[in-house]
Chains A and B, each alone.
Chain A
Amino acid sequence: MKITIQVMVQPYTYQDLDTAVKIAEAALKKGHEVTIFLFCDSAIASNKNIKPVRGDRNISELLKGLVEKGAKVEICGICMDYRGITTDMIIDGSNPSGLPELAELIYTSDRFISLMA
């Protein structure tokens, strides 16, 4: 199945990115095709310059790990612009994207999961 998971709120302040990563991992393990769509403040999670204190998880690294396992990470481009995130800052394998791409994902996915703001 093609499963898309949309996240809207910022990493670290809330648990949503962690939840999304864990759903994605479990879905990938079952052979599903997974896309994470980062919308609004969740776009911050794509920044590979994120530097948490020792002992905390590195969320952009977790997303990169998902990409390496075959997941897609799409980031709302306008949301990136609003937050000063440029394409050279985002994790390898992720894609600046937008509403046309979100619409396509919503249309073509078998399941769409969203973590509300």
Chain B
Amino acid sequence: MEKKVLFVVYQSPVGSIWVNEGFRTAFGMYGEDIEPAVMLLDAASVALSKDTSPESLGLLPIKIVQRFIKRYETPVYVVKEDLEKYKVKNIDENFCAKILSKEKLPDFFHEFDYVIFM
């Protein structure tokens, strides 16, 4: 039976590794009968901005994950209230992020077997 796993990252995509690790881990699940998804919560939502660039500081870029999101069709989620809180503009459509409202989160989290915060 397939398992559904949500990897939730919440720290800033610049200055911490967790957004990259969340995606990398999710992509690593496809060898098994696992359906992974990634959620960018709180400050991690800033990863969606076209203008966010950890590479400008010499850090690992985030945009490298986009081609795998496309290849594997990995669902990516973000919370509407977080986009507003961090004033995230200029959203990069290549992340194919689905926007959820915060009130949906209780049901959303409980759809998964494991919700792994990173």
Q: Measured between alpha carbons, how far is A107 from B1 in the docked complex, in Å?
A: 9
| A/B pair count, beta carbons within 8 Å | 46
B29–A106 touching, CB < 8 Å? yes
**Min CB gap A82→B, angstroms:** 9
Tell me, yes or no, whether A104 is within 8 Å of chain B by CB: yes
**Residues of A contacting B28 with CB < 8 Å?**
98-100, 102-103
Interface residue tally on A, bucketed by range: 10 to 19
Nearest CB in chain B to that of A6: its residue: B116
Main secondary structure of the interface of B (DSSP, over half): mixed
Given A40-B17, A40-B21, A117-B18, A103 contacting B34 (CB threshold 8 A): yes
- Number of residues from B at the complex interface, CB < 8 A: 21
1/0 per residue, CB under 8 A from B, across A105-116: the answer is 011000010101
Q: Measured between alpha carbons, how far is A99 from B116 in the docked complex, in Å?
A: 15
Q: Measured between alpha carbons, how far is A103 from B17 in the docked complex, in Å?
A: 20
Nearest CB in chain B to that of A107: its residue: B32
Tell me, yes or no, whether A27 is within 8 Å of chain B by CB: no
Tell me, yes or no, whether B108 is within 8 Å of chain A by CB: no
Tell me, yes or no, whether B5 is within 8 Å of chain A by CB: yes
Q: Measured between alpha carbons, how far is A99 from B30 in the docked complex, in Å?
A: 10
Residue of A98, A106, A112, A114 contacting most chain B CB atoms (<10 Å): A106
